[in-house]
Structure 1
Amino acid sequence: MTDTATYPLRLPRSVKAVAEKFAKEEGISLNQLVATAVAEKLAVMRTAEFFAERRERADLPALRKLLTRTGGLPPQPGEERRD
């Protein structure tokens, strides 16, 4: 990280002990573990917000119409399903 700020963090002793043990097992500092955990949590929260916003804009009748339409072309060579 090139641009950092400090933040005094208070953790319950039990949480800190587990986090220190995990960081040691992973070969990283406690600071790196906490920074990574916060970044991952923020990414999850933003992803959830993104899909919630998209869900609000969804046009379900249009989707149903698209999924149940008739016609179209059969799969072309190279478009086969691969399981």
Structure 2
Amino acid sequence: MNYALRIPDYYKDDIESVKGNVSLNQFIVNAIAEKVASLKTLDYLEQRAARGSREHALKMLKNASNKQPNDLDSF
């Protein structure tokens, strides 16, 4: 799939400073992939939240242990 893309000149310095040593095309492809992934993640989390309930979450928290974690539980 090919698109003609017009990027405003005022983004030039910012793009050059963050893209590293990859091509502008690869930078844009990666940016699109990141945006799509974040939107899919947001959609997934909203769907999960819609299926959940505050009552169930509070019930689960009541069952949580009050025991302190041991040294091997943390990094």
The within-5 A match list for 1:1-40 is 5-23=1-19, 26-40=20-34
Q: With structure 1 as the length reference, what TM-score do the two structures score?
A: 0.67
Residue number in structure 1 paired with 2:36 = 42
RMSD (CA atoms): 2.6
Q: Deviations over 1:52-71 (max 9, x none)?
A: 1111110221221222148x
Q: What amino acid sits opposite 2:11 in the alignment?
A: V
Structure 1 gaps, min length 5: none
Q: What amino acid sits opposite 2:61 in the alignment?
A: L
Structure with bigger helix share is 2
% identity of equivalent residues: 28
CA distance in 2, matches of 1:13, 1:48: 31
Moved over 2 A (4+): 20-23
The within-5 A match list for 1:62-81 is 62-69=56-63, 80=70
Larger Rg: 1
- The count of corresponding residues between Structure 1 and Structure 2 is 71
CA distance in 1, matches of 2:60, 2:17: 52
CA distance in 2, matches of 1:20, 1:65: 51
